[in-house]
Structure 1
Amino acid sequence: MPTESILMIDEFLKQSLMLRERREAYAHAIVIRHGKPISSKPGDKMIICQDGAMHGWIGGGCTHPVVVKEALQALQEGEPRLVAISPSGAVQPIRDFAQYPMTCHSGGTLDIYIEPVLPNPLVVILGHSPVGQSVARLAQEIGYSVAISEGVELAGAQFQFPENDLSQLPLADPCFVLVSTQGADDELALKAALQTKVSYVAFVGSQKKAKALKDYLRREGISSNRLNALRTPAGLDLQAKTPGEIAVSILAEIIQFHRNSTSGILEGDTPTETKTLTETVDPVCGMSVVVGSSKHVAKHGETVFYFCCARCRTRFETEPERYLTSIP
């Protein structure tokens, strides 16, 4: 394998690992077929972040707006997709492929597989109780990431945080917070949990204790919506008695909540907001361009125009009146 290919793969893997460790959603795009004179080749890869930033290589700039658009949609929907880019009429429509025209003047065809990579589920445990520790171990067994308070011993925990301080944790969905403090600063732990945007927050304790805590937290400024969404007692009703059984019921509820949620990016404390897609048309080639992702911009009068590549922008700047008439 050529040295440059090895370096590109290394960079791709490093970027993927960094985003995974930060629990940031991204999509990867992989070239699966190309037709000359496209410069990319099968196996070329690119990472597209939630803000539309690109890392890697899949070909010339004319293809980038399409790839970014489809990647951001894949992140929203949580589903992979196939994209075909080709000159108009060059190939027959392909089943299950999103079809786009190739606007690069050199021509060529390109088929790309785009797959969203969402954060691994994270279970955050507040408290040092046997129930919390059992939930943490069980969560690891099914491949979930775990965050625990400093001072709690758990091999393989991905994150640790200061007691009742979740401010530095990457709480992007899918994320689940369990308060299992057993009387040790219940109020502080539950307040910290409910001040996040995490959808699933559960409390291990009796209904009577939970009611008293809710009354206190309401006076502390926690909204009724957040308090009403609190799951207490935590877990499905399995008639559980022992700490281990209670932990199983809680993890079962977490799994049920996770699988019933939408498949794409959810509503947690997402580290990077997913870019809202605003599209316009390149006035030179007619290609759809994502506003904000295009690096090729020109202003004519009071209007800003976006282009798929530098060549289209240059042609517009040379003869703007020629292309203004073609704009709807």
Structure 2
Amino acid sequence: MLGLDARPASPGEPLPPDLDVVVVATHGRDEEKVLIEAARSGVPYIGLVASPKRGAVVLAGLDITEERRARIHTPAGLDIGARTPAEIALSVYAEIIALRPQVARAARPAAGSVAPQAVAENVDPVCGMTVAITPATLSLDLAAGRVYFCGPGCQHAFADDPSRYAHA
């Protein structure tokens, strides 16, 4: 939905080698092993969903270097006053977006894989928002090429009267 390939992991399974983000939200169950593996393998963003107090205790107990420990974000997410699971997920996603330039620079291709490509972007002609072009991005095909939109409201406004957006 938000453009991430999110997959749950099971305790004991090795982490895939091509991860850019690991978020641990297990309420204290089997989190240490995943955090250590992610930190040692160089995953660019590692987040632990926990209270500040529990997060500090978990970090202190990890058998990793201080440098690796410092890369684990806990509590994961931006401090927006999130309380519900959906709000916490939004705050974590917002932090990942905020740190995206650092995550992209730190990302490393797995052995035998192709280095990650830059994300293609375009500007929504209705609102002016920069839109990441993915297979799920809303668009319309015109004679001059494809036009991308941030959401259905902008897409419908454009479709109703493309001449209003002559700069498209």
Question: What's the TM-score, normalizing by structure 1?
Answer: 0.32
* Cα distance in structure 1, aligned partners of 2:103 and 2:26: 30
Is the CA contact (8 Å cut-off) linking 2:48 and 2:72 kept in structure 1?
Answer: yes
Q: CA deviation at 1:274?
A: 7.5
Counting only pairs closer than 5 Å after superposition, residues 160-171 of structure 1 correspond to structure 2 as: 162-167=10-15, 169-171=16-18
Matched, 1:189 2:31: no
Q: CA deviation at 1:196?
A: 1.9
Q: CA deviation at 1:216?
A: 1.4
Q: CA deviation at 1:240?
A: 0.7
Q: CA deviation at 1:142?
A: 2.0
AA in 2 matched with 1:272 = G
Judging changes above 3 Å, is the alpha-carbon distance between structure 1 residues 216 and 261 closer, same or farther for their aligned structure 2 residues? closer
Judging changes above 3 Å, is the alpha-carbon distance between structure 1 residues 185 and 274 closer, same or farther for their aligned structure 2 residues? closer
* Cα distance in structure 2, aligned partners of 1:226 and 1:245: 27
- 2:7 pairs, out of 142, 147, 154, with 147
Counting only pairs closer than 5 Å after superposition, residues 20-99 of structure 1 correspond to structure 2 as: none
Ranges of 4+ aligned residues in structure 1 off by more than 4 Å: none
Is the CA contact (8 Å cut-off) linking 2:44 and 2:106 kept in structure 1?
Answer: no
Deviations 1:73-125 (A, max 9, x none): xxxxxxxxxxxxxxxxxxxxxxxxxxxxxxxxxxxxxxxxxxxxxxxxxxxxx
Judging changes above 3 Å, is the alpha-carbon distance between structure 1 residues 194 and 256 closer, same or farther for their aligned structure 2 residues? same
**Residue of structure 2 equivalent to 1:229:** 71
Unaligned runs of 5+ in 1: 1-140, 150-161, 276-328
Q: How many residues were matched structurally?
A: 115
- The answer to which structure has the higher strand fraction is 1
* Cα distance in structure 2, aligned partners of 1:270 and 1:214: 27
Percent identity for Structure 1 against Structure 2 = 30
Report 1 or 2 for greater relative contact order, CA contacts < 8 Å, sequence distance ≥ 6: 1
Q: CA deviation at 1:233?
A: 0.7
Is the CA contact (8 Å cut-off) linking 1:180 and 1:204 kept in structure 2?
Answer: yes
* Cα distance in structure 1, aligned partners of 2:103 and 2:70: 21
Judging changes above 3 Å, is the alpha-carbon distance between structure 1 residues 261 and 189 closer, same or farther for their aligned structure 2 residues? closer
Q: CA deviation at 1:262?
A: 7.6
Q: CA deviation at 1:273?
A: 7.5
Is the CA contact (8 Å cut-off) linking 1:179 and 1:193 kept in structure 2?
Answer: no
Matched, 1:200 2:45: yes
AA in 1 matched with 2:18 = L
Matched, 1:268 2:108: yes
* Cα distance in structure 1, aligned partners of 2:46 and 2:72: 6
Counting only pairs closer than 5 Å after superposition, residues 119-158 of structure 1 correspond to structure 2 as: 141-149=1-9
**Residue of structure 1 equivalent to 2:87:** 245
Question: What's the TM-score, normalizing by structure 2?
Answer: 0.59
